[in-house]
Amino acid sequence: MSLKSDIGDGFLTFATSYIAPPLLKTIRWSTKIQTRNSHFHEEVARDSNYILCFWHGQIVPLMYYFLNSGFYTFVSPHRDGRYVANVMEGMGQNSIKTSLRDPRIGELRRAFRLARDGKTLGITPDGPLGPRFTVQPGVIKISERTKLPLLPVGGLATRAHFFPSWDRFCFPLPFSKIIINFGPVYRPWESTEKLSVKVQKFENQMVELSRQLTTDCAVPPEYFSSSGET
């Protein structure tokens, strides 16, 4: 790594550790948060730990809602993932440095231990590289291995900036309203369907949760195009 890269990495590490979290918390306190179908969350949280599933581009709205939750979210083991982990930890959450595309055996074993110890996991089924709104089979496999139910959730804001990234990253603007929409819990190990059928079923459910939010939350015209729809 060059000196220039070292300096850039050092700045981003500092910014994501010490600047971004208090800034995000300030913006968060200026927003209003509304939940829909929260009984799905309440029911599963009362009975057991679970795997919270949300799209990669909706990390910030969900981070606001689950401030100081302490759950463990999968993040990329590479440098960009480290920056995300810094922000999440500054917002009172924890990270597991592995991903569905680039699994790290040691971190996966840690995730399984945490699941056995009653901790809730967080996974972005389309992360860390997409395609947007495409569930990767790994999330179903992890659920079946840990016997943790999948709790799908979508989160958008009435006023937000969407970055031109693959995930159309949503950044809620100050004084906006954030709407969090929970869906029914899915226990894939209870079904004898093929893995591909389970993946498609869960993907459709997650896309629909976000689509339901667009009656109140503005999104870019092509927002759902990567889900196979026009």
Distance of CA 112 to the CA centre of its chain: 18
**Mean pLDDT on 7-32:** 92
Strand segments (E) across the chain: 32-36, 51-53, 72-75, 94-97, 121-123, 150-157, 160-162, 170-172, 177-182
Higher-pLDDT residue of 78 and 32 is: 32
What's the domain range around 154?
A: 3-227
The answer to whether residues 33 and 61 touch, using CB atoms and an 8 Å cutoff, is no
pLDDT of residue 98: 86
Q: How long is the chain?
A: 230
pLDDT digits (tens, 9 = 90+) for 56-109: 999 999 999 999 999 999 998 888 888 999 999 999 999 999 888 777 889 999
Banded model confidence at residue 3, pLDDT cuts 50, 70, 90 = very low
Residues 6+ apart with CB under 8 A from 101: 128, 129, 136, 138
115-139: pLDDT as tens digits:
999 999 999 999 888 999 999 999 9
Task: Count the domains in the chain.
Answer: 1
Helix axes 137-146, 105-116, angle to 10 degrees: 50
Q: Residue 5 contacts by C-beta under 8 Å, 6 or more apart in sequence?
A: none
Average pLDDT (195-223) is: 96
Indicate if the pLDDT at residue 193 is higher than 60.
yes
**CA dist list (Å): 226 to 52, 119, 131, 222:** 22, 32, 7, 8
| Partners of 183 in the β-ladder | none
Contact indicator for 107, 96 with CB cutoff of 8 Å: yes
pLDDT in tens, 148-167: 999 999 999 999 999 999 99
CATH number of the domain at 203, please: 3.40.1130.10
Identify the residue with better confidence: 32 or 77. Answer: 32
The pTM score is 0.93
